[in-house]
């Protein structure tokens, strides 16, 4: 894709659809079933969280959406198109911010645009606009090693959103942050998301975070990974931390937490029975 068409791209969220997806990995010569008949449709601009026990296939599902791995059978679609590799419409955000320490703050934000061949002046303008939005414009020329963990994650958020992605894949993005910084980042991210509303698939182990941010929460079970609950979240937007104490929030939490605990216990029992090998 040329730089020109990358800039003219439609930035509205794209639907994501998994249809009868099956996947297994080889452990030695033994195939281990990871996803089995995984079916999920995410509407354009929907914010969907996935929670579930460790090893149930959450990262695998994200990697398939991003074209990093291909399902053994079944179909994953972005909009009307089957995923066949990395797409310029899709951006990732992980727990480890993966900033490049030898690049300055602005230059880290520009990275995705650079890869797409966006001209230098335009890269700089867009990066600076995003650095303002994450309140880091004064640090544009700083060394990333001098930033706090929360500031680094804001650089990573700017680097992801500056690309105007239509789908954002987030794998435990706030897991490395302390509770206070995490709450700030959640609010900040949701505020930025609300401006352009890309579709988001958000993987987390934190059920409260999932409820607070999402339109829908998907609960998965493991061995093989599959969906056992799909709950629409009944909270207004914009979301705030105060909503954690609201009646609908508590109700969603109560309904999902018992089931999540059950699935985590079950997954641990299975792992123990298999001698600890995951
Ligand atoms: N490249 C790989 N090769 C072999 N097995 C893999 C590979 N990637 C993942 N697995 C296995 O597939 C299963 C699902 O892994 P996945 O990383 O998707 O789980 P997850 O739900 O993201 O877990 P966590 O919450 O711990 O991040 C696990 O049993 C894991 O060991
Ligand atoms: Mg994972």
pTM of the model: 0.93
Q: How confident is the model at residue 116 (pLDDT cuts 50, 70, 90)?
A: confident
Percent of the chain with pLDDT over 90: 82
Please check whether residues 155 and 175 belong to one and the same domain.
Answer: no
Nearest CA to ligand 1 atom 24: 54
Tell which residue, 223, 228, 217, 204, has the closest CA to residue 267.
223
The ligand with the least distance to the CA atom of 221 is: 1
Q: Does a structural domain hold residue 34?
A: yes
Please check whether residues 57 and 171 belong to one and the same domain.
Answer: yes
Residue 98 CA from chain centroid, whole number = 15
Q: Ligand 2 center to residue 59 CA distance, Å?
A: 4
Q: Does a structural domain hold residue 45?
A: yes
pLDDT in tens, 189-244: 999 999 889 999 999 999 999 999 999 999 999 989 999 999 999 999 999 999 99
pLDDT in tens, 48-92: 999 999 999 999 999 999 999 999 999 999 999 999 999 999 999
Atom of ligand 1 nearest to the CA of 60: 18
Mutate to test the pocket of ligand 1, among 23, 25, 263, 278 (most ligand atoms within 8 A of CB): 25
Please check whether residues 28 and 140 belong to one and the same domain.
Answer: no
The ligand with the least distance to the CA atom of 60 is: 1
pLDDT of 3 reads: 46
Q: Ligand 2 center to residue 14 CA distance, Å?
A: 23
**Helices in the chain by DSSP H: which ranges?**
3-8, 58-65, 105-109, 111-115, 120-133, 149-161, 179-196, 207-213, 247-273
pLDDT greater than 70 at residue 143: yes
- Looking at the structure of the chain, the number of domains it has is 2
The ligand with the least distance to the CA atom of 35 is: 1
Q: Which residues line ligand 1 (CB under 6 A)?
A: 25, 34, 54-60, 278
Q: What is the residue range of 148's domain?
A: 97-164
Peptide bond into 271 cis (omega under 30): no
pLDDT in tens, 146-196: 999 889 999 999 999 999 999 999 999 999 889 999 999 999 899 999 988
pLDDT of 9 reads: 53
Please check whether residues 269 and 159 belong to one and the same domain.
Answer: no
Please check whether residues 61 and 114 belong to one and the same domain.
Answer: no
Write the burial class of residue 166 (CB in 10 Å: 0-12 exposed, 13-18 middle, 19+ buried): buried
The DSSP code sequence of 81-118 is EE--S--TTEEEEESS----TTSBHHHHHTHHHHHTT-
pLDDT of 216 reads: 98
Q: Ligand 1 center to residue 61 CA distance, Å?
A: 10
Q: Ligand 1 center to residue 180 CA distance, Å?
A: 29
Which carries the bigger pLDDT value, residue 278 or residue 55? 55
Mutate to test the pocket of ligand 1, among 22, 58, 173, 207 (most ligand atoms within 8 A of CB): 58
- Which of 133, 148, 164 is the endpoint of a domain? 164
Nearest CA to ligand 1 atom 29: 55
Q: Which value, to the nearest 10 degrees, does the dihedral of the CA atoms of residues 191, 168, 208, 237 take?
A: 40
Nearest CA to ligand 1 atom 6: 25
Nearest CA to ligand 1 atom 25: 54
Q: Ligand 2 center to residue 174 CA distance, Å?
A: 13
Q: Does a structural domain hold residue 267?
A: yes
Angle at 216 between CA 96 and CA 92, to 5 degrees: 25
Please check whether residues 24 and 125 belong to one and the same domain.
Answer: no
Q: Ligand 2 center to residue 58 CA distance, Å?
A: 6
d(CA 163, CA 12): 12
The neighbouring-strand residues paired with 47 are: 200
Please check whether residues 111 and 222 belong to one and the same domain.
Answer: no
- Which of 164, 195, 222 is the endpoint of a domain? 164
């Amino acid at each position: 894709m040329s730089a020109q068409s990358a800039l003219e791209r439609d930035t509205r969220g794209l639907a994501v659809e998994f249809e009868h997806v099956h996947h297994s990995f080889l452990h030695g010569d033994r195939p281990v079933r990871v996803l089995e008949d995984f079916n999920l449709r995410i509407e354009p601009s929907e914010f969907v969280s996935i929670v579930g026990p460790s090893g149930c296939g959450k990262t695998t599902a994200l990697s398939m959406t991003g074209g990093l791995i291909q399902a053994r059978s079944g179909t994953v679609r972005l909009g009307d198109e089957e995923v066949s590799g990395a797409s310029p419409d899709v951006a990732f955000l992980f727990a480890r911010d993966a900033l490049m320490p030898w690049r300055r703050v602005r230059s880290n934000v520009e990275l995705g645009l650079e890869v797409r061949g966006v001209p230098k002046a335009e890269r700089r303008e867009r990066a600076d606009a995003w650095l303002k939005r994450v309140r880091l414009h004064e640090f544009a020329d700083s060394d990333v090693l001098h930033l706090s963990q929360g500031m680094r994650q804001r650089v990573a958020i700017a680097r992801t959103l500056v690309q105007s992605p239509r789908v954002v894949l987030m794998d435990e993005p706030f897991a490395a942050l302390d509770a206070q910084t995490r709450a700030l980042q959640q609010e900040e991210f949701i505020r930025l998301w609300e401006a352009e509303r890309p579709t988001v698939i958000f993987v987390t182990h934190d059920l409260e975070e999932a409820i607070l941010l999402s339109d829908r929460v998907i609960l998965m079970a493991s061995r093989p990974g599959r969906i056992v609950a799909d709950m629409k979240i009944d909270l207004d937007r914009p979301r705030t931390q105060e909503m954690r104490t609201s009646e609908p929030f508590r109700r969603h939490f109560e309904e999902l937490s018992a089931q999540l605990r059950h699935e985590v216990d079950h997954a641990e029992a299975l792992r123990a029975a298999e001698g600890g090998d995951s």
